[in-house]
Amino acid sequence: MICPHCHQNSSHVLDSRPTSGGEVIRRRRECERCGYRFTTFERVEHTPLLVIKNDGTREPFQRQKILRGLLRAAEKRPISSQQLNEVVDHVESVVRKDGQTEVTSKEIGQLVMDNLAELDDVAYIRFASVYRQFTDVSGFMKTLYDMMAKRQKES
Protein backbone atom coordinates (compact mmCIF):
# COMPACT_ATOMS: atom_id res chain seq x y z
CA MET A 1 0.00 0.00 0.00
CA ILE A 2 1.38 3.40 -0.93
CA CYS A 3 1.90 5.79 1.98
CA PRO A 4 -0.24 8.95 1.54
CA HIS A 5 2.48 10.97 3.29
CA CYS A 6 5.78 9.98 1.62
CA HIS A 7 4.41 7.86 -1.28
CA GLN A 8 6.68 4.91 -0.40
CA ASN A 9 5.28 1.54 -1.37
CA SER A 10 6.01 -0.35 1.84
CA SER A 11 3.77 -0.44 4.86
CA HIS A 12 2.78 -3.05 7.37
CA VAL A 13 -0.57 -3.78 8.97
CA LEU A 14 -0.89 -2.89 12.66
CA ASP A 15 -4.53 -3.90 13.12
CA SER A 16 -7.33 -5.48 11.05
CA ARG A 17 -10.96 -5.67 11.97
CA PRO A 18 -14.24 -6.22 10.15
CA THR A 19 -16.73 -3.35 9.90
CA SER A 20 -20.13 -2.85 8.26
CA GLY A 21 -21.43 -6.27 9.12
CA GLY A 22 -18.29 -8.03 7.95
CA GLU A 23 -18.48 -6.72 4.40
CA VAL A 24 -15.54 -4.37 4.85
CA ILE A 25 -12.17 -4.89 6.53
CA ARG A 26 -10.57 -1.88 8.17
CA ARG A 27 -6.78 -2.03 8.27
CA ARG A 28 -4.58 0.28 10.31
CA ARG A 29 -1.19 0.57 8.60
CA GLU A 30 2.19 2.15 9.27
CA CYS A 31 4.69 3.25 6.64
CA GLU A 32 8.01 1.46 7.07
CA ARG A 33 9.90 4.48 5.74
CA CYS A 34 8.42 7.52 7.53
CA GLY A 35 6.32 5.90 10.27
CA TYR A 36 3.11 7.66 9.17
CA ARG A 37 -0.02 5.76 10.24
CA PHE A 38 -3.08 5.56 8.03
CA THR A 39 -6.26 3.54 7.59
CA THR A 40 -7.37 1.58 4.55
CA PHE A 41 -10.63 -0.21 3.86
CA GLU A 42 -10.90 -3.41 1.87
CA ARG A 43 -14.22 -4.46 0.37
CA VAL A 44 -15.34 -7.14 -2.06
CA GLU A 45 -15.47 -5.96 -5.64
CA HIS A 46 -18.94 -6.70 -6.93
CA THR A 47 -20.13 -6.95 -10.48
CA PRO A 48 -20.73 -3.50 -11.97
CA LEU A 49 -24.01 -1.96 -10.93
CA LEU A 50 -25.59 0.60 -13.24
CA VAL A 51 -27.92 3.37 -12.11
CA ILE A 52 -30.74 4.32 -14.48
CA LYS A 53 -31.18 8.07 -14.26
CA ASN A 54 -34.50 9.89 -14.70
CA ASP A 55 -33.62 10.77 -18.30
CA GLY A 56 -32.96 7.10 -19.13
CA THR A 57 -29.17 7.33 -19.23
CA ARG A 58 -27.10 4.83 -17.27
CA GLU A 59 -24.02 5.46 -15.15
CA PRO A 60 -21.99 3.31 -12.76
CA PHE A 61 -23.14 3.15 -9.13
CA GLN A 62 -21.03 5.55 -7.07
CA ARG A 63 -20.98 5.27 -3.28
CA GLN A 64 -19.22 8.63 -3.04
CA LYS A 65 -22.05 10.38 -4.86
CA ILE A 66 -24.57 9.20 -2.29
CA LEU A 67 -22.21 10.06 0.56
CA ARG A 68 -21.71 13.61 -0.79
CA GLY A 69 -25.47 14.15 -0.82
CA LEU A 70 -25.76 12.80 2.71
CA LEU A 71 -22.92 15.00 3.93
CA ARG A 72 -24.65 18.08 2.54
CA ALA A 73 -27.97 17.09 4.12
CA ALA A 74 -26.34 16.32 7.47
CA GLU A 75 -24.20 19.44 7.62
CA LYS A 76 -24.13 20.87 11.18
CA ARG A 77 -26.34 18.04 12.42
CA PRO A 78 -25.43 15.52 15.16
CA ILE A 79 -24.76 12.70 12.70
CA SER A 80 -21.35 11.04 12.57
CA SER A 81 -19.58 10.18 9.35
CA GLN A 82 -19.72 6.55 10.48
CA GLN A 83 -23.53 6.72 10.58
CA LEU A 84 -23.60 8.22 7.08
CA ASN A 85 -21.27 5.49 5.80
CA GLU A 86 -23.56 2.90 7.37
CA VAL A 87 -26.50 4.40 5.45
CA VAL A 88 -24.55 4.10 2.19
CA ASP A 89 -23.46 0.54 3.10
CA HIS A 90 -27.06 -0.43 3.82
CA VAL A 91 -28.37 1.12 0.60
CA GLU A 92 -25.69 -0.64 -1.44
CA SER A 93 -26.28 -4.00 0.23
CA VAL A 94 -30.07 -3.78 -0.32
CA VAL A 95 -29.57 -2.88 -3.98
CA ARG A 96 -26.99 -5.64 -4.54
CA LYS A 97 -28.94 -8.25 -2.56
CA ASP A 98 -31.42 -8.69 -5.40
CA GLY A 99 -28.59 -9.62 -7.77
CA GLN A 100 -29.72 -7.08 -10.32
CA THR A 101 -27.18 -5.25 -12.44
CA GLU A 102 -29.34 -2.13 -12.86
CA VAL A 103 -31.30 -0.01 -10.42
CA THR A 104 -33.16 3.27 -10.84
CA SER A 105 -31.95 6.45 -9.18
CA LYS A 106 -35.47 6.76 -7.78
CA GLU A 107 -35.10 3.46 -5.88
CA ILE A 108 -31.72 4.53 -4.51
CA GLY A 109 -33.06 7.92 -3.45
CA GLN A 110 -36.00 6.33 -1.65
CA LEU A 111 -33.71 3.90 0.20
CA VAL A 112 -31.48 6.79 1.27
CA MET A 113 -34.49 8.79 2.48
CA ASP A 114 -35.91 5.83 4.42
CA ASN A 115 -32.59 5.37 6.22
CA LEU A 116 -32.04 9.09 6.77
CA ALA A 117 -35.52 9.50 8.27
CA GLU A 118 -34.44 7.16 11.07
CA LEU A 119 -31.33 9.26 11.83
CA ASP A 120 -32.38 12.90 11.78
CA ASP A 121 -35.51 14.80 10.78
CA VAL A 122 -33.72 17.94 9.59
CA ALA A 123 -31.24 16.00 7.44
CA TYR A 124 -34.17 14.02 6.02
CA ILE A 125 -36.03 17.20 5.03
CA ARG A 126 -32.87 18.70 3.51
CA PHE A 127 -32.23 15.56 1.45
CA ALA A 128 -35.89 15.33 0.43
CA SER A 129 -35.92 18.94 -0.75
CA VAL A 130 -33.13 18.19 -3.22
CA TYR A 131 -34.16 14.65 -4.12
CA ARG A 132 -37.83 15.45 -4.74
CA GLN A 133 -37.04 18.80 -6.39
CA PHE A 134 -39.88 20.71 -4.77
CA THR A 135 -41.32 23.29 -7.13
CA ASP A 136 -43.37 25.06 -4.50
CA VAL A 137 -43.90 25.29 -0.76
CA SER A 138 -46.90 22.94 -0.78
CA GLY A 139 -44.78 19.93 -1.78
CA PHE A 140 -42.27 20.78 0.91
CA MET A 141 -44.99 21.20 3.53
CA LYS A 142 -46.64 17.90 2.56
CA THR A 143 -43.36 16.07 3.14
CA LEU A 144 -42.93 17.86 6.45
CA TYR A 145 -46.48 16.99 7.59
CA ASP A 146 -46.06 13.36 6.51
CA MET A 147 -42.86 13.12 8.55
CA MET A 148 -44.53 14.72 11.58
CA ALA A 149 -47.52 12.37 11.34
CA LYS A 150 -45.19 9.37 11.17
CA ARG A 151 -43.34 10.58 14.30
CA GLN A 152 -46.62 11.00 16.18
CA LYS A 153 -47.67 7.43 15.32
CA GLU A 154 -44.35 6.15 16.66
CA SER A 155 -44.78 7.99 19.97
**pLDDT, tens digit, for every residue of 39-89?**
999 987 768 899 999 999 999 999 999 999 999 999 999 999 999 999 999
Query: What local confidence, expressed as pLDDT, does residue 129 receive?
Result: 82
Same domain, 30 and 60: no
Q: Is 123 found in the same domain as 71?
A: yes
Other residues' Cβ atoms within 10 Å of the Cβ of residue 37: 13
* Same domain, residue pair 39 and 88: no
**Which CATH number fits the domain that encloses residue 20?**
2.20.25
Number of domains in the chain: 2
Same domain, 64 and 93: yes
Instruction: Identify the pLDDT of residue 105.
Output: 93
For residue 32, pLDDT over 80 is answered with yes
Q: Domain limits at 92?
A: 46-154
How far is it, in rounded angstroms, from Cα 32 to Cα 34? 6
Whether 37 and 73 share a structural domain: no
Looking at the chain, list the stretches that DSSP marks H as alpha helix, in order from N- to C-terminal side: 63-73, 81-97, 105-119, 121-131, 137-154
Q: What average pLDDT does the segment 106-118 reach?
A: 92
Cα–Cα distances in angstroms (integers) from residue 85 to residues 38, 88, 144, in the given order: 18, 5, 25
70/13 same-domain check: no
Same domain, 35 and 63: no
* 139 & 72 share domain: yes
**pTM for this prediction:** 0.66
